[in-house]
Structure 1
Amino acid sequence: MSEFAFELALCARLERDRDAIVSRQLGTAVHDRRILDTLLVEPGPGFDERAAITSERIPPPAIESDVGPGSARFWKDAFDCHPDRARSLVEWAVDVGFFERERRAGRTYVRQTTRYPDDWFDRIVGIENKPDLGRPGALETQLLTDVTLALVDEVVLATESHVTGAHLNRIPEAVGVWRFDPETGERTVIRAAEPLATDDAGIEIVARDSARTEIRVATAAEKARARRRVAERAYGKGWRTFELPDCAHIAPDDDGLPYCPYKDQIVRPATDCGPRCAGHDPADPPAGTGDSLRAARTPWEPDPAGRTRRQSGLDRYVDD
């Protein structure tokens, strides 16, 4: 089974088992670039307030701007960036229902439709998927970075391989290890993950070789900002980011995974499907079930009431 199929099978299993937002392929760095394969974002006390705003991602710069739910502010004064960028952020925030606008003397002012609940998420669990431990690549450095940065609350390695003591000795002790069978969905905890110090400053490894290691410090405030951005991205993105192919053979399984009977496996539509496939039979893609499955199995709300109190006609203007 491919790493892609392994990842989707694990996401499907976690979606069934955990009361959390499940997402995949998200950046979890502060200064550098690090993509974690799978993330679980567990609800916090303010989750229902967040879910009531929008089913989509709220743009982090809008959350971090000088716009609040009180007095409306002139839109250009609310962002510390180029006006074109500020304009696009206002449009985005209005579109998802986080900002509302009003006109005063020919100028556009914005305010939050509701106060953003910073406590909407609790723990974030990061999972690195490595089905075959015989081909570890940069796994050791990646996991060490995750632990020393401590952006997520727990780090787990998920594998299909038999896990030996030698494997465990090569990864940080704080990293949990799961053995996962994607065919049966059985998950065995080989080693429990240790909680990481997310509230403290962290050390991010930005380069490492046999001779030297380059690091940068991430402050507690920088980490808190990055955690909120990761959580928002996870909420809006989910994990079914693939499009089902336009082929008569595709037959999504009960988890909405792109199973192909012709190839007898889960396929990656972007690379495995299309006219280059010998079994390609053009047809309309199957009706999507991803959102309905996500809504039924996770706390995500697909169609919230929203908080916007938009005045008629005013949502067309962000021009001066």
Structure 2
Amino acid sequence: MREYAFELALCAHYEPETDGLLARQLGASCHGSRVMDVVEVEPGPQFDERVSLCPGTIPAPVLESDIGPGTARDPRRALDVHPDRVEGIVDAAVAAGYLERERERRNGRDLVRATGRYPDEWVGSIRGVENKPDLGRPGDLERQLRTDVSLALLDEVVLATASHVTGAHLNRIPEVVGVWRFDPDTGEREVVREPTPLDSGGSGVEPLDEHPGRTEVRVVSAAEKRRARRRLAERAFGKGWRPAPEAWPDCARIEVGERDAVGPLPDCPWKGRIVDPAAECGPACEGFVSGAAPSVDPESARADATAWDPDAGERRRQTGLGRFADTE
């Protein structure tokens, strides 16, 4: 099975087993380019407060500023970013539901304030799952897992595979990495080895470029990791794992998969499997039949399956938008 379909199947079957939120394909590094296939964010003591605040990802520069729900601030002064980035960051934070705009009456400046207080302790533990359906084609698996362990940005790391796992396989990956054997057709998940918790609260070492005979590394402080963990958790919170509607191809053959209760998933009867629309679909495919893509609602499916609320903070956002419009 292709890794994309394996990844969707794993999320679809695993989501009902956890109280946390799942997301796919997120950057899980501080200075490098590591991308984790699946990220699971387990609830912390203030999880419900984060859910009720807003449904989208709050941009990191906003959370790292002193913009709060009190006095409205000038974002050009409050955000520690290049001036050319300010408007885009504010737009993203407003779209996420966290910031609201208002116009200063005296000189007409655009100001922003938060719609509520951000809960710092909403994240419990963070687990990363690296998918490798076929261990006979490991690619950079060992290097990726060594990076995860030495950096310890995540609390736990797991390898998920459809292959039979041998002692030789286990010996080639760090012993603290857990291993799951997952059958994407039946949803059966066997825990071959439990993960060992990593020191996510301390400093870490992040391998960067590799050269013959040496590897460039960077020591990452505990404070840097805290900021990176919050960014990762925020992206996971806002993104989820389901393919967005725009990712579905305009092909009349594509159907909504059988796991629609937790999906929707792009199923292609012509290929006989779940497909990766971005990589496999379109006029170049011999089975392509031009037509409208299926109507899908991944947000509603996510809301039905998890604690995430797509309408959180709606009243506050509408109030803020109305106040901004009235002062034009």
TM-score scaled by structure 1? 0.93
Task: Return closer, same or farther for 1:191/1:316 CA change in 2, 3 Å cut-off.
Answer: farther
Q: In structure 2, what residue type is equivalent to 1:189? A: V
Give the percent of matched residue pairs that are identical in Structure 1 and Structure 2: 54
Structure 1: how far apart are the matches of 2:4 and 2:97? 34
Query: Is residue 243–residue 298 contact of structure 2 (8 Å, CA) maintained in 1?
Result: no
Unaligned runs of 5+ in 2: none
Does 2:300 align with 1:296? no
Matched pairs, number: 318
Partner of 1:94: 94
SS of the equivalent of 1:166 reads: helix
Alignment equivalent of 1:266, drawn from 264, 274, 281 = 274
Pairwise CA distance, 1:53: 2.4
User: Which stretch has the larger CA shift, 242-251 or 17-26?
Assistant: 242-251
User: 2:56–2:95: 8 Å Cα contact kept in structure 1?
Assistant: no
Change (3 A) 1:311 1:33: closer
CA 1:315 to 1:149, structure 2 compared with 1: closer, same or farther past 3 Å? farther
Pairwise CA distance, 1:210: 5.4
Give the alignment of 1:5-24 within 5 angstroms: 5-24=5-24
Q: Find the residue that maps to 2:40 and give its secondary structure.
A: strand
Q: Which residue in the other structure is 2:183 paired with?
A: 181
Which residue does the alignment assign to 2:252?
A: 248
TM-fit CA distance, 1:91: 2.6
1:4 aligns with 2:4: yes
Quote the Cα distance in structure 1 between the aligned partners of 2:163 and 2:211: 26
Q: Specify the alignment match of 1:116 in structure 2.
A: 118
Q: 1:282 aligns to what?
A: 290
The answer to whether the Cα contact below 8 Å between 2:61 and 2:80 also exists between their aligned partners in 1 is no
In structure 1, stretches of 5+ residues that fail to align are none
For residues 170 and 52 of structure 2, the distance between their equivalents in structure 1, rounded to whole angstroms, comes to 43
1:51-72 superposed Cα distances (whole Å, 9 cap, x missing partner): 2222211111111112122222
User: 1:245: how far off?
Assistant: 1.9
User: Does structure 2 conserve the Cα–Cα contact (< 8 Å) formed by 1:108 and 1:317?
Assistant: no
For residues 212 and 316 of structure 1, the distance between their equivalents in structure 2, rounded to whole angstroms, comes to: 62
Q: For each residue in 1:248-281, what CA deviation from the matched residue of structure 2 results, as whole angstroms up to 9, or x when unmatched?
A: 2212122322111111111111122222222222
Cα distance in 2, alignment partners of residues 191 and 209 from structure 1: 32
CA separation of 1:169 and 1:69: change in aligned 2, threshold 3 A: same
Does 1:36 find its partner at 2:46? Answer: no
Rounded Cα–Cα distance in structure 1 between residues aligned with 2:211 and 2:91 = 44
Q: Deviations over 1:254-309 (max 9, x none)?
A: 23221111111111111222222222222211110322221111221121134444
* Superposition map of 1:173-252 within 5 A: 173-208=175-210, 211-242=213-244, 243-252=247-256
Q: Partners in 2 of 1:97 and 1:244 — Cα distance?
A: 26
Q: Distance in 1 between matches of 2:30 and 2:208?
A: 10
Question: Please, what is the CA RMSD of the aligned residues?
Answer: 1.9
More helix per residue: 2
**Residue 310 (structure 1) aligns with:** 320
When normalised by structure 2's length, the TM-score is 0.91
- State the alpha-carbon separation in 2 of the partners of residues 50 and 257 from structure 1: 27
Equivalent residue letter for 1:120 = W
Q: Residue 105 of structure 1 corresponds to which residue in structure 2?
A: 106
* Counterpart residue number, 1:129: 131
Contact 1:101-1:315 within 8 A present in 2 as well: no
CA gap of 1:315–1:47, structure 2 versus 1, over 3 A, is farther
